[in-house]
Structure 1
Amino acid sequence: MRNVDTPTPLRPERANPSAFQQRLSRWNHRRLQPAVPHADWATDAQEDAEMILIEGAWVERLRAEAQPWLADLPEDPARFVDWFEALQGAGPGENDPLFPWLAEEADLGQMRWFLQQEVAGEAGFDDLVAMAQVKMPDRPKLELARNYWDEMGRGNMGGMHGPMLGKLADHLRLTPTIEGTVWPSLALGNVLVAFSTTRRYAYHALGALGVVELTAPWRAGHVAAGLKRLGVGPERKYYALHATLDVEHSRTWNDEVLTPLAQDHPETIRSLAEGAVIRMMAGAACFDAYRDHLWGPQMEARSA
């Protein structure tokens, strides 16, 4: 008889979250990278089959951990959107003291470390939206297309959001690696990839991506202010842009994605809500890990 504590594909090891998230990150990098036919395709397919089970078990655990935040989740579509919008400022990780500190006190070395973690965990909002929109109803699909077009600079290479972040990373000589990244940052990217690439979590993806648009402006504004204080010039545009543009993105996402889905497909409400809360919980874990590294126990005690 199998020992119940033995790790299996459906019970991924919890004792070493860093190794677990690194494994997921390497798998996501391999499976999402464009390739050409090669002799090892069957080996890759075998890994995919195992990792899909492992990833699924992990997401199901995250769903269970999110339930306390959903105790007051309304079933009425209009009240659901109000509930969703109330996550701004009140959900997991909101108003974290790390961000005013980045704006006002962090030195360049500390800011570089923070940004290196963020860049390493970045899953690519444009690609996530593109994968999540497959087979969605028409009205949400159109808004996802508009959002994607903005992410792509409306057809202007210089306005693409992903390369903007890359320019900042190049300017600050950031060298992100999977091994050099705190595991909650890897987990943040991994959960978004899991949502957007797995159709049973497609509505979780829309909730998670929508809450990014809802909550990012406050954090992005503080990072942009810190970069300006430290003398970073045009390269800070990525954060300055998201401090303002995402306000409008959030409004239209709530109006054109969440509202029609909740009205026409009320069975998706819980998935949308779970995705939002799980994304916020993953962000909160990142902020805790960042403060642990950047502040240390003495400063953490003073801020408590």
Structure 2
Amino acid sequence: MATQPFENLPSPFLSDTFQRTLSSWNRERLAPAFPAADWELAQRRAYNMQRLERAFLESLRAEVSHRAKAVPREPGPFMEWFENLKVAGPGQGDPLFPWLAEEADRSQICWILEQEAAGEAGFDDLVALTQVKLPSGPKLELARNYWDEMGRGNAKGMHGPMLARLVEALDLHPAIETTVWESLALANAMTAMATTRAYAWHSVGALGVIELTASGRSAYVAKALRRIGLSGKERQYFDLHAMLDIKHSADWNREAILPLVEEDPRRAVAIAEGALIRLEAGKRCFDRYRRALWNAPAHS
């Protein structure tokens, strides 16, 4: 039987139904499990979901491809373009974060953090998935980054449990069913790039741009949490990322992205696409959060 072409798929990708379905499948497929009794049925379902996931990711690539094709291929100029995303990239300078730091009340802060926690794809796992078969130098940089995410072997320093402690302190209840599709789409896009080797360079760019841009937003969130009375231990996740991501970004750019582009300039476009996909996904989240809390129009 002939399969339906991607462009004729009836499911809209940027929607509640699709993103909730994809998010639920991602959580199911990435969780440790046992072989299914009917493995052929499970494999058919996985094929159908991967096909939809690939179509979703290609739609995101189409959104940014014209910008990515214009990036420099020479390593030095490319790195200048990439590092400028911190200032000029989609979603940067969004007014949501100064407002969060200075004006948002506790319920508004909690609502945003609940959305973010539910859409969290797990930076540590994304790095681990992305580094498979990378060249040695970039692989080592991703390993160093992963080791930091894992608290350098100390359970109390692991970044994932730090976020979980904040969720518990604020009595948040993140769930796919109550999370806006924009937040789920961000996590789904990151997961798709990290788990599909054809998008490995995209994932390097997407993870790198998180490190590049997260420190400023983290500082605003940390200020908001301090303002509503959370302790240093409770806001540790955001206090840490406000400082550590600056170093992580410099290391990632120097030790991972730069040598990858030096070795093969074609990777510049893929890395740029991944970075822009991640930034556009973040911008959609910020716009949705402001509409929900301010009844405000999209930010240009």
Normalised to the residue count of structure 2, the TM-score between the two structures is 0.95
CA RMSD of aligned residues (A): 1.9
Spell out, residue by residue over 1:168-206, the C-alpha distance to the aligned partner (whole angstroms, 9 max, x if none): 001111111111000000000000000000000000000
1:33 is aligned to 31
1:270 is aligned to 269
Deviation, structure 1 residue 295: 1.0
Spell out, residue by residue over 1:130-187, the C-alpha distance to the aligned partner (whole angstroms, 9 max, x if none): 0000000000000000000000000000000000000000111111111100000000
Indicate conservation of the 8 Å contact 1:12/1:57, yes or no: no
Instruction: Report the Cα distance in structure 2 between the residues aligned to 1:168 and 1:98, rounded to whole angstroms.
Output: 20
Question: Which 10-residue stretch deviates more, 201-210 or 71-80?
Answer: 71-80
Indicate conservation of the 8 Å contact 1:92/1:277, yes or no: yes
Spell out, residue by residue over 1:39-58, the C-alpha distance to the aligned partner (whole angstroms, 9 max, x if none): 14332211110111111111
1:213 is aligned to 211
SS in 1 for 2:12: coil
Instruction: Report the Cα distance in structure 1 between the residues aligned to 2:151 and 2:13, rounded to whole angstroms.
Output: 42
Spell out, residue by residue over 1:49-100, the C-alpha distance to the aligned partner (whole angstroms, 9 max, x if none): 0111111111111111012433531011111111100000110000100000
2:178 is aligned to 180
Instruction: Report the Cα distance in structure 1 between the residues aligned to 2:38 and 2:222, rounded to whole angstroms.
Output: 45
State the one-letter code of the partner of 1:262.
Answer: V
Report whether the alignment pairs 1:167 with 2:165.
Answer: yes
Query: Map of 1:7-26 to 2, 5 A cutoff?
Result: 11-14=9-12, 17-26=15-24
Instruction: Report the Cα distance in structure 2 between the residues aligned to 1:46 and 1:172, rounded to whole angstroms.
Output: 41
Report whether the alignment pairs 1:296 with 2:295.
Answer: yes
SS in 2 for 1:123: coil
Indicate conservation of the 8 Å contact 2:193/2:202, yes or no: yes
State the one-letter code of the partner of 1:200.
Answer: A
2:49 is aligned to 51
Deviation, structure 1 residue 38: 3.2
State the one-letter code of the partner of 1:142.
Answer: L
Task: Describe the shift of the 1:15–1:219 C-alpha distance in structure 2 as closer, same or farther (beyond 3 A).
Answer: closer
Task: Describe the shift of the 1:116–1:7 C-alpha distance in structure 2 as closer, same or farther (beyond 3 A).
Answer: farther
Equivalent residue in structure 2 for 1:127, among 122, 125, 147: 125
1:222 is aligned to 220
Spell out, residue by residue over 1:274-298, the C-alpha distance to the aligned partner (whole angstroms, 9 max, x if none): 000000000000000100111124x
2:246 is aligned to 247
Deviation, structure 1 residue 265: 1.6
State the one-letter code of the partner of 1:279.
Answer: R
SS in 1 for 2:163: helix
Deviation, structure 1 residue 15: 7.6
1:64 is aligned to 62
Instruction: Report the Cα distance in structure 2 between the residues aligned to 1:16 and 1:285, rounded to whole angstroms.
Output: 10
Instruction: Report the Cα distance in structure 2 between the residues aligned to 1:121 and 1:214, rounded to whole angstroms.
Output: 19
Instruction: Report the Cα distance in structure 1 between the residues aligned to 2:160 and 2:13, rounded to whole angstroms.
Output: 34
Unaligned segments of structure 2, at least 5 residues:
none
Task: Describe the shift of the 1:170–1:93 C-alpha distance in structure 2 as closer, same or farther (beyond 3 A).
Answer: same
Task: Describe the shift of the 1:50–1:10 C-alpha distance in structure 2 as closer, same or farther (beyond 3 A).
Answer: farther
Instruction: Report the Cα distance in structure 1 between the residues aligned to 2:8 and 2:141, rounded to whole angstroms.
Output: 36
Instruction: Report the Cα distance in structure 1 between the residues aligned to 2:95 and 2:148, rounded to whole angstroms.
Output: 30
Instruction: Report the Cα distance in structure 2 between the residues aligned to 1:92 and 1:221, rounded to whole angstroms.
Output: 19
Equivalent residue in structure 1 for 2:93, among 92, 95, 108: 95
State the one-letter code of the partner of 2:213.
Answer: T
State the one-letter code of the partner of 2:280.
Answer: M
Instruction: Report the Cα distance in structure 1 between the residues aligned to 2:166 and 2:74, rounded to whole angstroms.
Output: 43
Indicate conservation of the 8 Å contact 2:6/2:55, yes or no: no
